[in-house]
Structures are given as C-alpha cells and as structure tokens.
A and B are shown apart, each in its own frame.
Chain A
Amino acid sequence: MLNRNGLLATVAILAGMTYQALADDFRVAAVLPGVVTDKSFNQQVFEGLKASEKLGGVEIAYTEKVTQAEQVEVMSDYARRGYNLIVGAGGEYVDAAKRIRSQFPDVSVVVLNGAETENVTTLMFEHEQFAYLVGLVAGRVSKNGTLAALTAQPIPAFDRVVKGFTTGLHVSHPEGKVLTTLTNDWSDVAKAKAASVNLISQGADVLLPYLDGAYLGVVQAADEKGVYVVGVAQDLAVDDPKANLFSTIQDYGGMVSWSVAKAKAGELEAKRYDFGVGSFPNEMGPFNDVVPQNVRDEVKAAVEDLKAGKVTFK
C-alpha cells in the first residue's frame, strides 16, 4: 500500500515537474514552406531554431511544407497551444501573421523577409547589399558583362537582389546587364538546370540562383558548361567549390535565434528590423581561386562602404 502511495506521489511530482517545465519554457514554433533538409533557406531556419534551444528554457516545434492555404490554420494551432513566438519563414506569411496577431495579441509573430506589416515583427536582410558584393566579384570575373539571376516566382526580395547585383556589376561593366528568369517552381531541379543552360547559351557567364532546392540545377549547369555561380543567401562552395565564384551568406538561422533571444527577454517589438552586411559573423564564403587578390581587397573595401552607407542603389 505504502509502495503504491509512494509511486503515486512520484508520478504526481513528475507530472508537476513536467507541467512546471512546460509552463516556464519559452515556446517557439516555426512554420516552413519547404523541408528542413533542403540545404537552403528552410534548413537555415531550422538550424537557427535548434540553436535557440541552447539559450536554455526554450522549447521548439516546427511544421514543414505548409502551403499558402494552411498557413493560418497551422499558425493559430500553435497559438492555441500556448506558443509564445511563432516564426513564419518567408514573406508569403505576412497576411497569415496579421490575422494571428489580431486573434492572439499575446503571441509574438515574426515573419522573415516580409514586407513591413503593422503589428507584426518583420526581419529583413538588406538584399541589395549582399547581392552588390557578389555582383562586384561576378562583374570582375565575367568576360562580357552578362550575368543572370534565377528565381521561381516574382517576389520583392528577388527584385532587391537583382538591383544590388546589377549595381555591383556596373562597377566593372557600366553597360553590363543581368538576365533574369522565373522557373515557376522552387524545387524543380531539372527545370532550373534547363533554364540555366538557356541563360548560359545567351552569353551569361556568372549565374545567381535565388531558389530553394532547385538551386542545385543551376550549380550543375554552370559546372557542366564551365561557367560560374555566385550565392547570395548561402555558401555554394559547399556544393561545388569549382563552380562557386563567391558567396555571401544570409544567416537566417542567426536571424531566428536573435529574435528568439530578443523575444524571450521581452524586447522584441512589432516593427521592421533590417539586417545589413555586418549583422552576423560568417557572412562570406571562400573565394574561388580565379578571383584575383585585388578583387578580394575590393570586396573588403566595399563591405566598409556598405556599412558606412556610401553605396546607393537605384
């Protein structure tokens, strides 16, 4: 009898502890458009989420492959279950975020790469700055001043990338141009590859993929045709050090764990935060051997110019 009572007591204490842990933990959920193994945007967000667990007292959860139609459903489910912070991974989440905020005012909602939205925290990389750096290098290496950029669908972030990329190119080729192609599918590797081959045959000799899983098709096409790629969001040298000319890294993981820490401390405001060059460590990958030293120095100087706000984009 005593034993049983003891057991019950233990169970009660354990249950109490679990409850305590749940009640005290800061609970964060990420809602992702793709899969966490895409070696790209979704994976970065996931890594950042995992990293924020190390802050202590943070409990994480995530949902993959959330379509536009399911966004509100999935996010409000997290809100009902008492999550304190919900991260919408991508600008397409702003509308859903707005609705969640109006229904659950106590829940913080962060949207990565979103347009500035009332009542929602949007975190935004200054894409022009990163794209400017890779455009600078691409222009110096390009033989004819024709570059190309690929994405799936027209999104504001891509327009900003192209703007920065073109500005960077014009440093060396004032008349140079950037060809753009939309493949209509973020994960169709074969189509991205076909589109890249087409761009290369039109004279583009440095390509910039702005895609999810499909970026590998661009890298492969460049490798096979003997031209180069530059990465603006992630280090393409990891996939192909031969074809990668130079990559900047937009550390979405760092962005996520920054926002978790800030929200946990109660300092995260519902406004837009901009992240330019210099916001996170490890923002640049290695240079390809074909990039001469003076260009590498030029990039270093450009980083300082960007930080000082000396570069204008039009």
Chain B
Amino acid sequence: MFNFLFDAHQLSDFLGSGIGLSVPLIFAAVGGVICERAGVFNIALEGQMLLGALAAAVGANLSGSAEVGLISAVLTGALSGVLLSILGVSLRGNQIVIGLAITLFASGFTSFMSRVLFPEGANSLRLDGFRPFGLPLLENIPFFGKILFQQDALFYLMLILVAVTMFVIYRTQLGLSIRAIGENPGAADTAGVPVMLLRYSCVIAGSAIAAIGGAYIVLAQVFLFSDNITAGKGFIALGAIVLGRWNPLFATLACLLFGVFDALQLRMQATQPDIPAQLFAAMPYVISILAFVGLIGLVHPPAAGGKHYDREVR
C-alpha cells in the first residue's frame, strides 16, 4: 500500500502533487490570517480567489504575459478588499454576511464575465503562465531540490510571502499594532494606533494575497479558466487558518497537511480498489480533525475578530 514511499521517483511525484494542491490554499490562508489578525473576518476568500483567477486569465490573455495576469489578479483582489472594508469596517455590516455575499457575487460574476470576455470558452485558453525553473545550487540538493527548488516564480513568491508575513506580524512594531487592533482596538487606539487605516490596509493586502491563490491555479497549474475553478479551496483555507491558530506559518503547515493527504488519498484510491473511495476522500478532513484534537492548548482567536470598532462607543 505504501510502496511508493520507497521509490524516489514516485515519492517525489507524490510530494510534488501534494505541494501543488497546497499552494493555492496557502496564499488564501495567509491572506486570511492577515485580515483576521487585524480583527476582520474574511469569509470572502473563496470569492476573492475566484476573482483573482478570472482577472489573471484576462490579464494574461490580453497582454500575453503572466506577470500582467498576476498584477491584474492582485488589483482585483485588492478591490474586493476595499469593498469588504467599506461594508464590513466603515459601514459596520456583518462581516460574515458580507463575505458570503462577495463569494456568491464572485461565483456568478466570474461565470458571466468569462462568457462575455471569452466567447470561444475560457476553458479553451492556453495561457502563457509561470513555468518552473531551477534555483542555482539549491536545485542540486538531492531529492528535495527537485521538489522545492524547481518550481515556478509564484511558488518562490509564496515562500517569501510566508517568511515576510511571519516576520512582520511577530517581529515588527507594525505587526504588534496589527495584533493589538485584533485583540483590543480601544486600547490600541488610546496608544495612537490608527485602527481604521490599519484594518483597511490589512484587509486590502490580505484580499490581494488570497487572489494570488486563484491566480496560481490559472497561471501555474492549468493555464485556463473554467467556471468555479477554485472549487471550494477558499473555504478549506478558512479551516486551515483555525487549525493553524491564526499563525501564518502554522496555517501554511495546515494547508500542506490538507494538500499532502489529498494527494495521498488520490494515490491510494487507485491502488486499493477494494476499499470504498469515500473513505479515502474523507481522509484529509479526518486527519485535520485529529490534528485539531491533538494540538493541546487553548484555541485563542483574535479577541476583537468580527467586532466593529467605534471610538465613540464603549
């Protein structure tokens, strides 16, 4: 059953596809962590990924360049972040409802626009995406070099992003302020932290990062757009945020857990036809529940998450 673990070629194929399945989740989860750390629930991750995916396809198709696709995805994601902030932070709407509304809107809007913009069908596209290239020296590391350092530019971007987010949140003044407005915005405000400005910035940045997750699917994995191409990955990322205890690195590891076990179940299904496939399909979720139970310690979400801040109200 686990023979493939002892075959270097098969093992690297398996880990490669596990990591590939995780990358879009990681972008979305890191984006979500940034929003939630600042005290804003971002349930719209799925919709923002979908918007990012369509924007990436449109940008890359019109310009012929993957970079332009990436930039348009980032801008579209940021725009959806502006919407979420205005409605959920300034106008104090219910952030859960607004997030769901953005996701539902994105689902219809992207299907509609893809038919308008690609009359031949967006799934006939063959976009010029980001192709893998090896990093000098690092790619020569036996075994892991091939998996981690013969990847595309977006994958490297993801590695940098996770490191930078970790550093900013836990090692800088800015990060302290972000965590403060997620825990107790009143106290932070008293200390002179610009709560609204920072919440807006975090939601816009987080949304843009989530959109890159959608762009990754289009520009690095499948090179085309089709309706509902994100297939619920934004919601899985929400789970990864909780499993990762609102820590960007742990959330990344949670995404890897989902991705690797998803790859594992796909592989085991094929070799074990006698075991019902549904058991395998449930595996990533069973594992995450076990991981959740096994992680001893108090779950401590940002205390001000989803709560509106008004300076005039106690």
Contacts and interface: CB of A to CB of B under 8 A. Distances in A.
A239 B222 CA distance: 14
Interface string A167-206: 0000000000001111111011111011101110110000
A182 B281 contact: yes
B222 A193 contact: yes
A213 B226 contact: yes
Interface in B220-271: 221-224, 226-229, 231-232, 262-263, 266-267, 269-271
A289 interface: no
B227 A35 contact: yes
B227 A148 contact: no
A48 interface: no
Contacts of B262: 191, 194
A161 B231 CA distance: 25
Given A198-B266, A199-B270, A190 B228 contact: no
Which of B21, B228, B263: most chain A CB closer than 10 A?
B228
A22 to B, nearest CB: 28
Interface in A201-249: 201-202, 213, 216-217, 220, 239
A195 B10 CA distance: 13
A154 interface: yes
A146 to B, nearest CB: 10
A187 B231 CA distance: 7
B123 A198 contact: no
A154 B277 CA distance: 8
How many of chain A's residues touch chain B, expressed as a range?
20 to 34
Contact of A190 (B9, B24, B269): B24
A193 B231 CA distance: 14
Contact of B226 (A181, A202, A216): A216
A200 to B, nearest CB: 8
A197 B266 CA distance: 10
B269 A197 contact: no
Contacts of B123: 37-39, 189, 213, 216
A190 B217 contact: yes
B140 to A, nearest CB: 22
B23 to A, nearest CB: 10
B270 A201 contact: no
Contact of A220 (B20, B217, B223, B277): B223
A239 B124 CA distance: 7
Nearest to B119: A37
A15 to B, nearest CB: 33
Interface of A is mostly: mixed
B229 A197 contact: no
Given A183-B266, A190-B222, A202 B271 contact: yes
A181 B227 contact: no
A66 to B, nearest CB: 14
25 contacts: A35-B111, A38-B227, A154-B277, A154-B278, A179-B271, A180-B270, A181-B266, A181-B277, A182-B269, A184-B281, A189-B222, A190-B21, A194-B21, A198-B14, A198-B17, A198-B266, A198-B267, A198-B270, A199-B270, A201-B13, A213-B227, A216-B123, A216-B224, A216-B226, A220-B223
B231 A185 contact: yes
A202 B272 CA distance: 12
A34 B227 CA distance: 9
Contacts of A35: 111, 227
A202 B269 contact: no
B13 A39 contact: no
B294 interface: no
Interface string B13-45: 110110011001000000000000000000000
Nearest to B216: A190
A37 B115 contact: yes
Given A179-B270, A198-B263, A217 B222 contact: yes
Contacts of A216: 123, 222, 224, 226
Contacts of A197: 13, 16-17
Nearest to A35: B227
